[in-house]
Amino acid sequence: MLSQQHIDTVKSTIPLLASAGPAITEYFYKRMFTHNPELQDVFNMTHQKTGRQPAALFNAIAAYATHIDNLEVLTSAVMRIAHKHTSFNIKPDQYDIVGHHLIETLRELAPDAFTKDVEEAWVAAYGQLADIFIKIEKDLYEERAAQTGGWKDFRRFNVVSKTPESDLVTSFVFAPVDGEAVIDYLPGQYLGVKLHPKGNQYEEIRQYSLSTAPNGETYRISVKREGSGDLAGVMSNYLHDHLKIGDEVELMPPAGDFSFQDKQKPVVLISGGVGLTPMQAMLDTFAKQGYAQPINYLHACAAPSQHSFKEHVNGLKTSLPLSVHTWYEKTDKTEEGVYEGNMTLESIKNDLPIADGEFYLCGPLGFMMFVKQQLLTLGVQADRIHYELFGPHQDV
């Protein structure tokens, strides 16, 4: 049970955490993977190399310590992380492993400050947080399993089609090996995909946005080839280069707290790069439902050769009240609605529903921060800006 003394003690360690920074979580991950190497089948090791995962975990720990006496502040972050955990099929006993290595990390890095009282407080604090996640994730697992086409744990699927969408993005359609129905999803959600690439020491699990409307029979994801050299994305490059029709993967049910919220208001979909994938699910759902409110689709990418789904989106103009604006870093195109350089909204602000629209963002962190600030400056209220960030959780 977390007492007021525990809370006060944890909060008193915030300066220690701040002074150590992400070095704490870097040490934690090295320790955990040394003692429990099987967890490398779960964690994205590329994010370990880039430092994104240790930084994200440090920010989460610091936020928890700061708001431990007012956890409602963290509700949206907790739900986002819990959804991500369910796409990995995280189990309750894995929280015990993580908790053990977290406490030992604090003890080993700060032996003088990590007194008996501090240890007791952090054990209680971590136990409270673990219980919160375990309860939420249990409910999510059971809710999905109970729905038509739902399931628990990983389920086997075959690749039934593989389609290049641009120079960097390829779509994959999966059908269940058992031939049964699959659970529907909300446009904007993602799949947890597991496979063991040939020649790779560990299994890999990644999350990819569903990129079309649900049909009850198959799922489609659209994957960008990521990185190069030592930082090449293990999973994305394997999918592009080696996964073929007829091959098998394992999937968790759709997850994610980012999804279209139908308020019968004008909608603006804003994406950068492969961030357009959840927007395709939204657009296709709008077309399926005959959405009557105005829709603006704004997309930015490096060049026309990297512009995925261009023809498909333009084709939806005949069935939807849809306006399309595109930004390329470099282009010689002069067609209407195409711009060169960074996405700047000032020039099209009169076309946007600033006063009452709902805005959905997806793309690299820097892109979304840049766009969100523009929206706020133009007068869009923060609670009408919704976003999805690929990779470890961070605030925009």
Q: Catalytic amino acids? A: 95, 137
Structure token pair of residue 31: 């320790």
Q: Binding site membership: which residues? A: 85, 190, 206-209, 273-278, 389-392
With beta carbons less than 8 A apart as the criterion, state whether 175 and 218 touch: yes
For the chain, what is the radius of gyration of the CA atoms? 22
CB-based burial of residue 15 (10 Å sphere; 0-12 exposed, 13-18 middle, 19+ buried)?
exposed
Structure token pair of residue 326: 């595109």
Q: Binding site membership for NADP(+): which residues? A: 273-278
- Amino acid identity, residue 40? Q
Using the 8-state DSSP alphabet, how is residue 322 labeled? E
Burial call 292-314: b when 16+ CB within 10 Å, e when fewer: ebbbbbbbbbeebebbbbbeebe
169 in helix, strand or coil? strand
- Amino acid identity, residue 28? F
Neighbour tally for 25: CB within 10 Å: 24
Q: Binding site membership for heme b: which residues? A: 85
Structure token pair of residue 158: 């075959």
Side-chain-side CA neighbours of residue 367 (13 Å): 26
Reported as type and span, the H/E element at residue 370 is helix 365-378
With beta carbons less than 8 A apart as the criterion, state whether 105 and 27 touch: yes
**What is the distance between the terminal CA atoms of the chain, rounded to a whole angstrom?**
33
The Cα–Cα gap between 52 and 50 comes to 6
**Beta bridge partners of residue 385, listed in sequence order:** 359
With beta carbons less than 8 A apart as the criterion, state whether 325 and 298 touch: yes
Phi-psi region of 290 (alpha: psi -120 to 50; beta: other; left: phi over 0): left
Q: Binding site membership for FAD: which residues? A: 190, 206-209, 389-392
List the Cα angle 329/332/338 in 5-degree steps: 65
CA quadruple 84, 121, 65, 45: dihedral sign? negative
